[in-house]
Every structure is written in structure tokens, then in C-alpha cells.
């Protein structure tokens, strides 16, 4: 199998390469300026890496060649971090839509299957979340169905939604090319993939505010309070990166089932509020370090706009319907949240808590 992977050096790309390159029949042409997470693959002759952005001017011929050569193109390019959406909205819109829309046109011209990673954020906030009382009594008002659920975002001044809008525009652009020019596509909507290498830790291998797991890990390692944004009332469902990659491999193995579909990829059984996640992570870290004191590690509440800056708003609940992935791909995630956290937190602990660069 011949694959082009845009953004192959990121969290999802690195896990995907681990699995794909283990199969000697797979060859990959990858694009990514960042290679820190994939150094173990750099000498692999079946990986041809382009260490520049996919939209770099004057280099579209090599991309066209690769798209023509490939059985499928996987798009993972994006700035996927809520701290950036309201602080660097132009870059977020560029990375999510403008830089990659020519790729859609190339895939359509070559009739190459485009598998594009979107986001659960395209659903925005749930209908239940907008109703007075916010009770979630009726699953029809909050469960997320790929083809039925309306996509509801807040006002333009709330720039949290730049990422969701850019990704929604890309989905619509892909679907339009499918409709008008026969582009074969698959849209994947990830719901909080967790695993080793998912983010940086500020002050060590990156700057700014990473996603919640890395924020809480940083606080645990540095001995600072875990910060619960707006009290940690929001819900997330969390799925193991390994099972998410399983889903993608099933798609690649069954194009006739995966093509021209939208798929939620998440785990309904692993739903938590962020406050519950904080508590679970304290207990997991006590187990990893052998220090029961972490169970009572301090937690503090912080206002959303103080933490992320003006224009922050949050998705209230992300409960995916997964019938399509189950029936078409035979995919059902099984790894429980505690197991996911223990694996991910142990890898962070090994990588950072023992690091000599610790401030």
C-alpha cells in the first residue's frame, strides 16, 4: 500500500507510522517540518519525508506526483490546541483550511482517496447545552450523529470557534468536490485521543498552554495545583490512540466500506467531567510514583477567559454515536480510561519527571 501522510510528525501521525511501517508492504511519503516524535523512523527506506510545510510555494509538483502515486492521502495537518484558537486565529484558520484546500483539489484531479482528520469540535455546543437548565435528559439533544446532528457554534467574537469553523469548511469543501467531481473521501472526527507523545510540556519542549492532560501532568510534576477551568464541569469522552489507529487501519483495509463516509472515532464508555479527570489523574499519579500524597494534590478553579484569554468558550459535552464505525468497520473501542491514563501518564513521567532539564 502507498500512502501520503500530511502532518506525519505529530501525535497521531507518529502512532500511525509505528503501525504502518511495521508492515513491509507499506510505503509512505510524509510531509512535516517537525520530526521529533518520529526520529525512530527517519532511516526507514519506506518513509520518504518532506521536511517542509505542504503548502510551501514552488513545491506543488512533488506533492502532485505523490498524490498520483498514492492509494490514499491522509491529512493530519492542523493546529489542534484550544489555547491557540482565540490567540492565533489567523494561523489556526490557515493551517486548518487555507493551507490544505489545494490538497483537496489535487486529490480530486487525480481521483485519489482523501482521508481527512477533522474534529469533534465541528459539532460545537450541543442543543441540550443551549437550553435553560442544561439537564441532558434527552440523548437526542446531545448525542453526536455524523449525518444528523446540527453544527452549532458561538458568535464570531468568541474566537474559540476558529478551529471548528476552519475544519467544518474543509469538510464542506471535500464534500463539495466529492459531489461535483467524484472525489473519494473519508472524514474522521476524533473525540479526545489520548496516548504517549500527545503534547509537549511548557518550558521543556514547547511553550504556551497544551491540552488538558499535559496541563495536569505539568502541574503534578512541578508540584503546582491542577487548574480546573470554569470548575471542570465540561464533559469529554476519551479513547486510546492505539484503538483510534486500529480504526484507521480498518478503513484502509476496507475502502469500499470507509469511502464517502463521516466517522466519529471515540469511546462512549470513557466519559468524564474535567473535574473527574483531574481526580482520576491524581490517583493514577499516586500509583505511578508510589506516593499516596498525590491523591490529595491541590486543585484550584480558574475562570476560562483568565486561563485562555478573551474569546474562549467551551464545547459542553461530546458523546459520540459510534454505530457507523461499528457496523461498517467492525470497530468497538474497549480500553478503559484508567488504563489509558496509566499508560500515557507513565510515559510522561518517564520522559519529564526524571529529566535533568527540570526547572
Residues catalogued as catalytic: 163
How far is residue 212's CA from residue 190's CA, in Å, rounded to a whole number? 16
Q: What is the x/- site pattern for ligand UGA, positions 157-176, by CB under 6 A?
A: ------x-------------
* Mask for 177-206, x = binds ligand UGA (CB under 6 A): -------------x-xx-------------
CB of residue 325 to ligand UGA, shortest distance in Å:
16
In whole angstroms, give the CA distance from residue 335 to residue 10.
Answer: 22
Among 220, 229, 247, 337, which residue sits at the site for ligand UGA (rule: CB under 6 A)?
229
C-alpha pair distances (Å), 183 with each of 21, 104, 108, 110: 27, 8, 5, 9
C-alpha count within 13 angstroms, C-beta hemisphere, residue 312: 16
Query: Minimum Å distance from CB 227 to ligand UGA?
Result: 5
The contact pattern for ligand UGA, residues 24-63, with x = CB under 6 A and - = no contact, is ----------------------------------------
Indicate whether 215 belongs to the interface with ligand UGA (CB under 6 A): yes
259 neighbors 186 (Cβ within 8 angstroms): yes
C-beta of 11 vs 185, nearer to ligand UGA:
11
- Using the contact rule CB under 6 A, the part of the chain among 30-38, 90-98, 118-126, 282-290 near ligand UGA is 118-126
Per DSSP, 308 falls in state H
Q: CA 348: distance to chain centroid?
A: 18
What's the grid cell of residue 16?
Answer: 500511525
77 binds ligand UGA (CB under 6 A): no
116 binds ligand UGA (CB under 6 A): no
- Residue 299's SS3 state is strand
Total binding residues toward ligand UGA, as defined by CB under 6 A: 21
Cβ 71 to ligand UGA, closest distance in Å?
26
Name which of 32 and 84 has its Cβ closer to ligand UGA: 84
Return the range that interacts with ligand UGA (CB under 6 A); candidates 41-49, 59-67, 86-94, 114-122. Answer: 114-122
What is the nearest approach in angstroms of ligand UGA to the Cβ of residue 85?
A: 7
CB of 215 to ligand UGA, least distance (A): 3
Other beta carbons less than 10 A from residue 284's beta carbon: 24
9-46 in b/e form (b: 16+ CB < 10 A) is bbbbbbbbbbebbeeeebbbbbbbeeeebbeebeeeee
Nearer to ligand UGA by Cβ, of 27 and 227: the residue is: 227
Q: Could you tell me which stretch among 172-180, 228-236, 242-250, 339-347 binds ligand UGA (CB under 6 A)?
A: 228-236
How far is the C-alpha of 83 from the C-alpha of 63, rounded, in Å? 31
Residue 61: count of CB within 10 angstroms of its CB: 8
DSSP assigned state of 73: E
Residues 325, 331, 332, 335: is their CA dihedral positive or negative?
Answer: negative
Nearer to ligand UGA, 29 or 197 (CB): 197
Tell me the per-residue interface mask from 282 to 321 with ligand UGA, x by CB under 6 A, - otherwise: --------------------------------xx------
Round to whole Å and give the CA distance between 116 and 188.
6
The footprint of ligand UGA (CB under 6 A) covers 80, 82, 119-121, 163, 190, 192-193, 211-212, 215, 227-229, 232, 234, 236, 274, 314-315
Amino acid at each position: 500500500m502507498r500512502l501520503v501522510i500530511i502532518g506525519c510528525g505529530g501525535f497521531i501521525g507518529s502512532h500511525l507510522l509505528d503501525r504502518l511501517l511495521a508492515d513491509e508492504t507499506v510505503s509512505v511519503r510524509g510531509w512535516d517540518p517537525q520530526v521529533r516524535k518520529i526520529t525512530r523512523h527517519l532511516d526507514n527506506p519506506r518513509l520518504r519525508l518532506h521536511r517542509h510545510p505542504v503548502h510551501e510555494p514552488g513545491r506543488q509538483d512533488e506533492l502532485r506526483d505523490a498524490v498520483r502515486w498514492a492509494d490514499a492521502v491522509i491529512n493530519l495537518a492542523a493546529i489542534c490546541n484550544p489555547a491557540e484558537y482565540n490567540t492565533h486565529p489567523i494561523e489556526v484558520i490557515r493551517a486548518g483550511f487555507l493551507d490544505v484546500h489545494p490538497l483537496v483539489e489535487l486529490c480530486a484531479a487525480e481521483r485519489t482517496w482523501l482521508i481527512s482528520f477533522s474534529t469533534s469540535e465541528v459539532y460545537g455546543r450541543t442543543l441540550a447545552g443551549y437550553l435553560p437548565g442544561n439537564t441532558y435528559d434527552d440523548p437526542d439533544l446531545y448525542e453526536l450523529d455524523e449525518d444528523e446532528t446540527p453544527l452549532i457554534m458561538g458568535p464570531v467574537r468568541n474566537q474559540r470557534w476558529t478551529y471548528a469553523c476552519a475544519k467544518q469548511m474543509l469538510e464542506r469543501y471535500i464534500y463539495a468536490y466529492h459531489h461535483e467531481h467524484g472525489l473519494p473521501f473519508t472524514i474522521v472526527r476524533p473525540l479526545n485521543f489520548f496516548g504517549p507523545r500527545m503534547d509537549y510540556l511548557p518550558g521543556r519542549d514547547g511553550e504556551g498552554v497544551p491540552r488538558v492532560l499535559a496541563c495536569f501532568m505539568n502541574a503534578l510534576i512541578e508540584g503546582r495545583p491542577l487548574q480546573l477551568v470554569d470548575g471542570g464541569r465540561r464533559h469529554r469522552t476519551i479513547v486510546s490512540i492505539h484503538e483510534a489507529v486500529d480504526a484507521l487501519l480498518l478503513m484502509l483495509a476496507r475502502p469500499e466500506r470507509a469511502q464517502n463516509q463521516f466517522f466519529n472515532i471515540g469511546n462512549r464508555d470513557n466519559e468524564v467531567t474535567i473535574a473527574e479527570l483531574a481526580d482520576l489523574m491524581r490517583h493514577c499519579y499516586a500509583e505511578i510514583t508510589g506516593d499516596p500524597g498525590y491523591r490529595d494534590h491541590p486543585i484550584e478553579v480558574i475562570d476560562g477567559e483568565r486561563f485562555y484569554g478573551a474569546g474562549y468558550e467551551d464545547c459542553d459535552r461530546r458523546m459520540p454515536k459510534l454505530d457507523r464505525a461499528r457496523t461498517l468497520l467492525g470497530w468497538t473501542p474497549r480500553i478503559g480510561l484508567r488504563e489509558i491514563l496509566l499508560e500515557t501518564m507513565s510515559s510522561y513521567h518517564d520522559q519529564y519527571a526524571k529529566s535533568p532539564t527540570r526547572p
